[in-house]
Structure 1
């Protein structure tokens, strides 16, 4: 009867072989061509007043948290500025970004995040993720979310009832991490 190898010997052999294969591939990858980023530098003729446009996820100087937005750890949503702030317990804004509101807006006041959904289809038919529900108005759920593909929503038809407040993809991830169930959402004018 032939001798049988114990299972630990098989596992050790397979692990050693896998490590060797990864090491060989890493050496080959290191010796290959490397991609280079194209860099563009402003020319000497660039005007001094030219300014790049800031997208929803990038801005030079964040807007100040509204004075009437409460205290403590909270999410602040300004209807007029179409902007959200994630404010920590020490009153410091951790992040601020522009949003694209739906056609149904919550009334100013304090709300609490009750339900969170990882992904679904929005009322506008767009695949969304990081959905954080905090209010209901006129039978429409109001929630922050971001499009899975990172796009901003097209303007909704005036008669459509959409309560989704769309945010940029990176902002949606930050809001999802910050806005756990029970987190206060303060809506201001």
Structure 2
């Protein structure tokens, strides 16, 4: 009998510990009414910012039909003449980056070997920096690996479906806006 009592006491103590470990820090807080949300806290301790809308075109990217490339977000937007994003997707930048500013598509190639040796398609070039041509492309094998930091390359890689969309959208002379 003593063994069962000891096991029961141990189980109750364990459950009490689990409950206290998961209890909110401030039990005196006002109860929430149904339908209200709890403010999120970021790892730094401050309120968490709401997630960005991936179709929200950066404000400082100009106007009209354009391709917008955000260096910080590693994201591209294909923006129509009315300023609405038709498509947005993430990219893997290379080791050489264009300076923020407005550019035009200067050349395109259907299929070539990239400076990193990877077979690529739908290459849309728009800038040069450090004597390196910079442009968007998709690897034929669908990969988007991080570039070798010891090589100077300018390919901004994307998934093949995104590369197809950009190829159709960004013809010679199309506007490309790079934002920080």
TM-score, scaled relative to structure 1: 0.66
Structure 1, unpaired ranges of 5+: 1-60
CA displacement, residues 11-36 of structure 1 (integer Å, 9 cap, x when unaligned): xxxxxxxxxxxxxxxxxxxxxxxxxx
In the alignment, is the contact (CA less than 8 A) between 2:99 and 2:178 conserved in 1? yes
Q: Which residue matches 1:88?
A: 80
Per-residue CA deviation, residues 88-112 of structure 1 (Å, 9 max, x unaligned), is 0011100000000000000000000
Distance in 2 of aligned mates of 1:161 and 1:168? 21
Q: Deviation string for 1:100-152 (max 9, x for gaps)?
A: 00000000000000100000000111100000000000100000000111111
Which ranges of structure 2 fall in alignment gaps of 5 or more residues? 1-52
SS at match of 2:163: helix
User: Matched residues in 1 for 2:140 and 2:152: separation?
Assistant: 21
**Residue 162 (structure 1) aligned with residue 177 (structure 2):** no
Deviations 1:48-77 (A, max 9, x none): xxxxxxxxxxxxx52411000000000000
Please list, as runs of the form range in 1=range in 2, the aligned pairs for 1:66-85 lying within 5 A after superposition.
66-85=58-77
Pairwise mapping of residues 16-165 of structure 1 onto structure 2 (< 5 A)?
62-153=54-145, 155-165=146-156
Q: Give the count of matched residue pairs.
A: 129
Quote the RMSD (CA, aligned, Å).
1.3
The aligned residue for residue 178 of structure 1 is 169
- Measured in 2, the distance between the counterparts of 1:69 and 1:62 equals 15
TM-score, length basis structure 2: 0.70
Secondary structure class of the residue paired with 2:168: helix
